[in-house]
Amino acid sequence: MAKQLPKQVQVAVDWAKANSLIAVFGAMVVVVPVGCYFAADWFGANVRTEADGKAQAYSSVSSALNATVDVPIPGGESVRLEGLPNEQTVAELTKLLEGVKSDSIGVYGAAKVRNMGTPEHQPLVASAVFPNYPRNFGDADRVRTTFVRALNKRYEELLKEVNAGAPPAGSFIAERVSAVEKSFIASAGVDSLDKIKDEAERQKQKDILSKELLNTRLGICNEVALNISMYGSLAAFIVPGEDDPAITGLFKDMKDADAQDRLLFDLQWQYWIAADVLEAFKAANGGTENSVLRNPVKRLVSLRVLPMEVASAAPASGEASTMGGGEVPADGAAPAEDGSVPPAEATPAATTSTLGEPAIDATVEAARDYTKRFTGRASNGIYDVRLAEVTFVAETSKLPLVFAKLADENLMTVTNVRLAPADAFAAARLGYIYGIEPVSEVTATIETVWFREWTAKHMPAVLRTALGIQTKTPEGAMSADGAAAPQGG
């Protein structure tokens, strides 16, 4: 027998059966709002999640569109790119970089040509004489003799090219002054002015003679000054003679061959630097037509090239610390005194350095080092830096012109200057006549730059090795020992 519902519940059920439509709609009035509440909450969460995602995507796109990127340009300022990269911006950047590369190649080429000098710097002797000579004792002795003779001759020619000369020799002045004195005394009708009896007349004649001799001396010095553009002589440079102990005692044994090669090339390098400095002085003086009395640069006192700075670039094994150079058997012959080369059979057992084309990568960055100088330039794999200390006398008011001409000449920079007033009267007593304008004695440190792409062609093997300069081989490979790598198995 089924369990009966409570009376109140049974009455409600009976009423719901009798009024089914009303009961259904009543239930909906209660259930639907509650269900809608939960459904709306679920739907709103999905909408918010989707909206947040879209907002984040929009923010990312907007940030990308408004973003900027600084693209570094070698050797110049960075270029700022805005917005998302596309084919157009990539093409523009590629074109820009190609232009920068083309410009840098052009600038380097022009700088290298200028660096080779005007007129172009040439070796002092033929390459068969130096550095590609048979390295034995007898040949090395002839090489340095030939080289030193050529060095002295070239310095003398350089001084002539800039119309530099020395003041008149003291012996010449003394001879001319003595002749004037004798002529004056003879015109007075006595053997000596001391024999003039009248004291007043005697003193008068002595005063006249003193002025006459002074004018004679100054006239001789002025005559020389009017015919040269500046004072300068071999004494201003380091130019060893054939009998100089630094040369004659250099090569005592075959182990000294490397030291000789380095010294001879350095002497040649010093000459190139001196030639550039004198060319700058010549330009400051407006050529060679004007006399020393009117020119800004009056006198070259001394020019000393400082020891070579060690380059920062080196082969993988580190910079060479010894003087060793690549040597291979050779059938070359010893150079004669005039620089010519006798037949090869004259020295069948000699050895010579075989130097190939230097492999210089001009695309690498030349790092700056501002701890050395304000220019930041220091020797590296592309160029070497040489410093020269130059002391000269110049018209004080024209010094800016002189410094400008030094800067115009072959990548030179004046990095330090010391000035001191020059005593023109003391100089005149030594035969140097500077003119009427105030003059100063200047000691300038000059930084010079030398591209290895051409200097290395004239370097001996030992110096290439020390600087880490590699050599091209026929196969396109490179040797780091300053000599071409052997071919074949």
> What is the phi/psi pair of residue 113, to 5°?
-60, -45
At 85, the pLDDT band (50, 70, 90 cuts) reads: low
Tell if the pTM clears 0.85, that is, is over it: no
Convert the pLDDT of each residue in 96-155 to its tens digit. Answer: 778 777 777 888 888 888 899 888 899 999 999 999 988 777 788 889 889 999 999 999
Query: 442 with 418: CB under 8 angstroms?
Result: yes
> What are 41-63's pLDDT values in tens digits?
665 666 667 666 666 766 666 66
The predicted structure's pLDDT at residue 315: 37
User: In this predicted structure, what is the pLDDT of residue 313?
Assistant: 42
Closest CA to 451 of 360, 355, 316: 360
Residue 307 DSSP symbol? P
Contact assessment for residue 274 and residue 208, using Cβ atoms and an 8 Å cutoff: no
432 close to 299: Cβ distance less than 8 angstroms: yes
How confident is the model at residue 406, as a pLDDT?
Answer: 97
Tens digits of residue pLDDT in 405-434: 999 999 999 999 999 999 998 999 899 999
Residue 159 vs residue 28, higher pLDDT: 159
Looking up tokens 């030094």, which residue turns up?
A: 406
Question: Pick the residue with more confidence: 33 or 286?
Answer: 286
What pLDDT was estimated at residue 344? Answer: 32
Q: pLDDT-derived band of residue 332, with 50, 70 and 90 as boundaries? A: very low
**Rounded to whole angstroms, how far apart are CA atoms 333 and 339?**
11
Question: For the chain, which residues make up each domain, given as ranges?
Answer: 133-163+228-479
Amino acid at 20: S
Token digits of residue 395:
């018209």
Question: What pLDDT does 393 receive?
Answer: 98
Q: How confident is the model at residue 229 (pLDDT cuts 50, 70, 90)?
A: very high
- Both tokens of 477, joined, read 């490979």
CA 83, 89, 93 angle in degrees (round to 5)? 120
Provide the percentage of residues in the chain whose pLDDT is more than 90: 39
Asked if residue 248 has pLDDT above 90, the reply is no
pLDDT of residue 131: 92
- Provide CB contacts within 8 A for 263, sequence distance 6+: 250
Does 166 have pLDDT greater than 80?
yes
Length in residues, the chain? 489
Return the higher-pLDDT residue of 403 and 482. 403
Residue bearing the bigger pLDDT, 57 or 232: 232
CA separation for the pair 356, 480 (Å, rounded): 11
pLDDT of res. 403? 97
3-state secondary structure of 136: coil
Whether residue 18 has pLDDT greater than 90: no
Residues 6+ apart with CB under 8 A from 27: none
Pairing of strands 383-395, 478-479: unpaired
Q: How confident is the model over 378-389, as pLDDT tens digits?
A: 999 999 999 999
Q: What pLDDT was estimated at residue 284?
A: 97
* CB burial string 297-325: b at 16+ within 10 A, e below: bbbbbebebeebbebebbbeeeebeebeb
Please state the φ and ψ torsions of residue 300, each to the nearest 5 degrees.
-95, 115
Terminal CA-CA length for the chain: 117
| Runs of H (alpha helix) within 116-198 | 137-161, 170-187
How high is the mean pLDDT of the chain? 79
Distance of alpha carbon 332 from alpha carbon 128, whole angstroms: 8
Contact yes or no for 421/437 (Cβ under 8 A): no
Write down the residue that tokens 């002092």 correspond to.
Answer: 124
